[in-house]
Amino acid sequence: MISTKQFVFKELSAAQESGVFVSGQELAEKCGVSRTAVWKAIKSLAKDGIKIEGVTNRGYRLEGNEENLSLSAMESLVLPKEGIRFCVYDRLDSTNLEAKRLCAQAGILRDALGALTPEGKKLHKLVIIANEQTAGRGRLGREFYSPAKTGVYLSMIYIPQKNLVHPAKMTASAAVAVCRVFKRLYKAEPKIKWVNDIFVNGKKVCGILTEGITDFETGRIEAAVIGIGINIYEDAKGFPERIADTAGSLLGTKGEPAKRNELAAQTALELSHIYAEQENDPLSSEAKDVISEYKQLNFLLGKTLEITPVIGVEEKYTAKAVDITEDAALVVKKSDGTYQTLQSGEVSLYSKNFLSF
């Protein structure tokens, strides 16, 4: 059962898009509490940094498009039974680094039988969120530009009790989760560039980095850290020159509501549901549909790519992307007619016609 504070935020969030006020009496009746309890909840939300406009004889509404990240706001959008917890920071070097630090401090996450230890249970489905990252990074160690108040930067720790889903598949599943949320919250039409980038209107608005926590004694991957960086607004300074041609944002300039708390909460929920289904019933139609959806959203298939191996001594070559496997590997056809299956950590891709979709 959610608290009065959580309920009030949920109701105000639902009314934000239309800009209407919600009266204290209406909130009290819906929640089954007194107007005094509603007033206290409003004050508590304001103390958390949530900007709420109150007008006599009209009620309350969320004000401003760029709402602050709020722990209580996110918690109001996720039922306790989901087992998801949030940690919100104003500034971090990297949410993935913080997640890995927490795992290292916790020590043993699973026992010899594979069951979660008390420390593992505390960290499973913990979501670390930052308003700003000073050392955000993406695949192959690339920097991920993460200025304050313009996006959502989060990492989920996922510790499976059964088999860990294939790492590339976890990244692909995260991409599908984010695309679903983009469609729901912003009516966007996202596309995916294998394996970890999400584009809207021809520009990259999201990057995903999945990393593993390994037990060096057993060689077993104990947990996964799924990092997701989303550009909602464009920073007032613009994007750095090195990424200016490809980087973009969901909403451009600050015109529409950012819905940062909803975006974080819904992304965590979608991730949790997809991973749980893949772990518990990998042969179910719901689990299988994720990769089908990933393939449908991917805009590389059918395109000729310049492929640069980052492991080994093989030189760069061109090939046509023809398929994506069930484990989210990319199948390409080389100029000599042979086929090669590429894993995400092995290559860097480039194509002049990436954006022509």
The per-residue pLDDT string of the chain (357 residues; one tens digit each, 9 = 90 and over) reads 678 888 888 888 778 766 788 999 999 998 889 999 999 989 988 887 788 888 888 899 887 655 688 888 888 888 889 999 999 999 999 999 999 999 999 988 888 787 889 999 999 999 999 999 998 887 666 778 888 889 999 999 999 877 666 778 999 999 999 999 999 999 999 999 998 899 999 999 999 999 988 776 666 778 999 999 999 998 878 888 888 888 999 988 766 778 899 999 999 999 999 999 988 887 788 888 999 999 999 999 998 888 887 776 678 888 999 999 999 999 999 999 999 998 875 556 655 454 433
Is 207 annotated in a binding site? The answer is: no
Is 267 annotated in a binding site? The answer is: no
CA distance readout (Å), 240 to 131, 197, 243, 286: 19, 18, 6, 40
Angle at 147 between CA 144 and CA 153, to 5 degrees: 60
Map out the domains of the chain as residue ranges: 4-62, 71-297, 304-350
Q: What does the block give as tokens for 168?
A: 């590339």
Is 35 annotated in a binding site? The answer is: no
Is 95 annotated in a binding site? The answer is: yes
What's this model's pTM, rounded to 2 decimal places?
A: 0.83
d(CA 45, CA 114): 40
Is 214 annotated in a binding site? The answer is: no
CATH class of 4-62: mainly alpha
Instruction: Determine the pLDDT at residue 354.
Output: 45
Is 68 annotated in a binding site? The answer is: no
Q: Contact 15/22 with Cβ under 8 angstroms?
A: yes
Is 96 annotated in a binding site? The answer is: yes
The candidate with the shortest Cα–Cα distance to 155, out of 84, 61, 60, 240, is: 84
Is 133 annotated in a binding site? The answer is: yes
The candidate with the shortest Cα–Cα distance to 228, out of 295, 182, 189, 280, is: 182
What are the beta bridge partners of residue 324? 330
Give 304-350's CATH code, choosing from 3.60.21.10, 2.40.128.30, 2.30.30.100, 1.10.520.10.
2.30.30.100
Segment holding 120, helix H or strand E? helix 118-123
Identify the CATH number of the domain defined by range 71-297: 3.30.930.10
